[in-house]
Homo-oligomer: A and B are copies of this chain.
């Protein structure tokens, strides 16, 4: 198996990742701006499949919009890079300091909708199939200042309106909401995959809205990312994914994929690549890296870090393939009855009345004996660790 990425691997990067100038809350930029055209060429050389962007990443304030888009399209044409996803920046400008769709100020909400619509046109023009909404400023620092239920009304109104716009225009875009618990707001609305999925179930066009979970965002809340992705898949809502690394609850680190909780990264790749029926991929969308090259790096380090994301993913894919193929693992899965969970609890055609009438289920069930049986989960965990370490 090759560790050299190719477009078939569906790796994509945001312009803002390699383009991050490394300005942080306590420090000035350490790197120059990067021309999006250069990014397109570099990513293509590295083997990426596509590139993504916020409107403001591509179209600097005061820039000649048409000229910028033309140069970008030319680069795409020259390299064959796709633009599978586009998103809007509703967080950098001071006008969004209390949010876009849920700002207390109605005029800001109207402006935000218009800013998104404008960029939906560009997304469609560039052939994107997914449009991401990260509501990083939709939230509050004090519960006194935000009526959360009204905010959710407005959030829903905004997305319903934009869905209608997309449907009316025939853009064929699907929406993906990106949850995050906090930063830059003290608490952000729709803080986890779960909250976003729940919210989506209330939308008028719920079928065209899914999630775009990010590794680090869930881990900032101490949540198991693999569990979250599993629930999103289970609900048919994993429309896009943001891969990176994080060291638990602290500021948003956006490290290179795998450069955080490595074992969780292994299980994630295993789920994405082998979690479908018969071991097929459970997810076929872009593997999108939303990371920040370390502030200590120069541009050489930036491009090298982009490659590292893909290489680590491919390495973990190899490890996960070997894990699944290992007969000892297969036997251990049987011993731990992992597959038995796919068998319904009730038998075929069995009703609750039948269950009530089955003494083996309760009256004659030897709970103590069954409770004493070992489940062999430790063995499975050790096998996974050893496969992650490339030791089997």
Contacts and interface: CB of A to CB of B under 8 A. Distances in A.
Nearest to A114: B362
Given A146-B338, A161-B346, A95 B194 contact: no
A24 interface: yes
A4 interface: no
A33 interface: no
A279 interface: no
Interface in A327-372: 336-346, 351-352, 355-356, 358, 361-362, 365, 367-368, 370-372
Contact of A259 (B110, B142, B227): B142
A360 to B, nearest CB: 8
A74 interface: no
Nearest to A319: B389
A315 B390 CA distance: 10
Contacts of A339: 147
A202 interface: yes
Contact of A252 (B25, B234, B298): B25
Contacts of A91: 26-27
A183 B25 contact: yes
A344 B161 CA distance: 11
Interface stretch (A7-15, A79-87, A378-386): A378-386
B355 A110 contact: yes
Nearest to A257: B385
A382 B308 contact: yes
B184 A27 contact: yes
Contacts of A259: 142, 263, 381-382, 385
Interface in A234-260: 234-235, 247-253, 255-256, 258-260
Interface stretch (A41-49, A65-73, A96-104, A123-131): A96-104
A356 B184 CA distance: 30
Copies in the complex: 4
A191 interface: yes
Contacts of A95: 367-368, 370-371
A263 B264 contact: no
Contact of A296 (B98, B102, B300, B301): B98
Interface in A297-311: 297-301, 304-305, 308, 311
Contacts of A370: 95, 105, 107-108, 111
A301 to B, nearest CB: 5
A104 B340 contact: yes
B390 A391 contact: yes
Contacts of A23: 23, 25
A16 to B, nearest CB: 10
A78 to B, nearest CB: 28
A193 B152 CA distance: 15
Interface in A258-301: 258-264, 267, 270-271, 275, 293-301
